[in-house]
Amino acid sequence: MAGSTHASPTVEAGAPAPLREPVFSPWREAWRRFKRHRMAVVSMVMLAVMILAILAGPYLWNVPIDEIDFTARLARPSWEHPFGTDDLGQDLLARMLYGGRISLAVGLAAMTVAVFVGILIGAIAGMSRGWVDGFLMWLTDLFLSLPALPLLLLMIYLFRDKLKAVLGPEGGVFVLIVIIIGGLRWMQVARLVRAQFLSLREKEFVEAARALGASRMRQVVRHILPNALGPVIVAGTIDVAVAIILESTLSFLGLGFPPDIPTWGRLLFDAKDHLDIAPHWALFPGAAIFLAVLTINFIGDGLRDALDPRKVM
């Protein structure tokens, strides 16, 4: 067989490639794959509508969220109050539009924290060998086996009052929830990033960069990290959904935002004692949480098809 091996692979390349072959950028290729996932596209439209409603809604539907009207207590949905009212006669549509901003903001902010911490730890573990890598992965496994919700509740319980005093009732709880959810959700991202780094750092293009004298930092930021981002984006999308559920859970248990801030979970918490006479009060916010989480999960699934063709679980 030795005789058939050419010194250079180009010898066998044959006819030159056609000159005007359409060149697709990786992003365009990803978009093409994303479009094939029908539910993901539908979800993206629905989520966009929801976000638009949350952002623009309060300007169009300018009923104050805390206008108490005892003549319209627990009113069913009508033209005056499309989503009905609560036990103080406050308009539920206005309250939900306001609460949606908080729920989505918590989701996005917590995802940012989780992805940042995950990339940092995963990158350090992936670039270093020996005991640093071993210790960081042990830490990751440890955090994975922590019972997230009890710990989350414990930390909120212990730190709530302190942060409220520093940042005000709304800001304090927001910062606390975001940091804790982010701090308990980075493990998946860290594992993905480390696995990607382990294979990417041995690739030829990184070796070439190293041979050209690129510093370690430059290798990571310019060459390895951009190629490792696909699975991270997918995991980050799912994290938004998880964070929204966690925040709603906290509010639903009465341990999240203060009572006068109508997040979706808080609305459900208030509604659960009036389930028999005012089911609409619970159904609308519940459906909103469900739709937000469902659409984000579907978009994550579509992004997995688009950005992560090897389907890393």
Partner 1 sequence: MGSYLLRRLLIAIPSLLGISVVLFTVLALAPGDPFGELATNPNVPPEVQAQLRKNFGLDDPVFVRYARWLLAMLQGDWGYSFVSRVNVDTLILQRLPTTLLVIGSSQILSLLVALPVGIYAATRPYSIFDQIANTLAFVGFSLPTFFTGLLFILVFSIWLGWLPFVYRADIAATGWEYYWLHLKQLIMPVTVLGLFQAALLVRYVRSSVLDVIRLDYVTTARSKGLAERVVILKHVVRNALIPVVTLVALQLPAVFGGAIVTEQIFRVPGIGSLLISAMLANDTPVIMGVTFVSACLVVLFNLIADILYGWLDPRITYR
The site string for partner 1 over 127-166 (x = CB under 8 A, - otherwise) reads: -----------xx-xx-xxxxxxxx-xxx-xxx-xx----
Q: How many residues bind partner 1 (CB under 8 A)?
A: 46
Residue (43 or 85) nearer to partner 1, CB: 43
Q: Is 255 in the site for partner 1 (CB under 8 A)?
A: yes
Amino acid at 158: L
Minimal distance, residue 303 CB to partner 1, in Å: 14
CA atoms of 33 and 311, how far apart (whole Å) = 13
In degrees rounded to 5, what are phi and psi of residue 19? Answer: -70, -40
* Residue whose CB is less far from partner 1, 52 or 275: 275
Rounded least distance, CB 30 to partner 1, Å: 21
Does 64 interact with partner 1 (rule: CB under 8 A)? no
Minimum distance from CB of 207 to partner 1 (Å)? 31
- Can you tell me which of 58, 77, 258, 286 binds partner 1, judged by CB under 8 A? 286
Which CB atom, from 202 or from 276, has the smaller least distance to partner 1? 276
φ, ψ (nearest 5 deg) of residue 85: -135, 170
Q: Which is nearer to partner 1, 45 or 142 (CB)?
A: 142
From CA 59, how far away is CA 16, in angstroms rounded?
60
Q: Is 202 among the residues that bind partner 1 (CB under 8 A)?
A: no
Q: Which SS3 state, helix, strand or coil, does residue 259 take?
A: coil
- Say whether residue 27 binds partner 1 (CB under 8 A): no
Q: Which of 272, 248, 271 is nearest to 100 (CA)?
A: 248
| Partners of 85 in the β-ladder | 91
CA torsion 215-218-220-221 (nearest 10°) is 170
- Is 308:230 a contact under the CB 8 Å cutoff? yes
Helix axis angle, 225-252 relative to 264-271, nearest 10°? 20
Q: If binding is defined by CB under 8 A, does position 189 make contact with partner 1?
A: no
**183 scored as a contact of partner 1 (CB under 8 A):** no
How far apart are CB 156 and partner 1 at their closest, in Å?
Answer: 8
148-167 vs 169-184: helix crossing angle, rounded to 10:
150
For residue 125, give both structure tokens: 């573990």
Q: Give the DSSP H or E segment for 101.
A: helix 92-127
Q: Which residues sit at the interface with partner 1, rule CB under 8 A?
A: 39, 138-139, 141-142, 144-151, 153-155, 157-159, 161-162, 241, 245, 248-249, 252-255, 265, 268, 271-272, 275-276, 279, 282, 286, 289-290, 293-294, 297-298, 301, 313
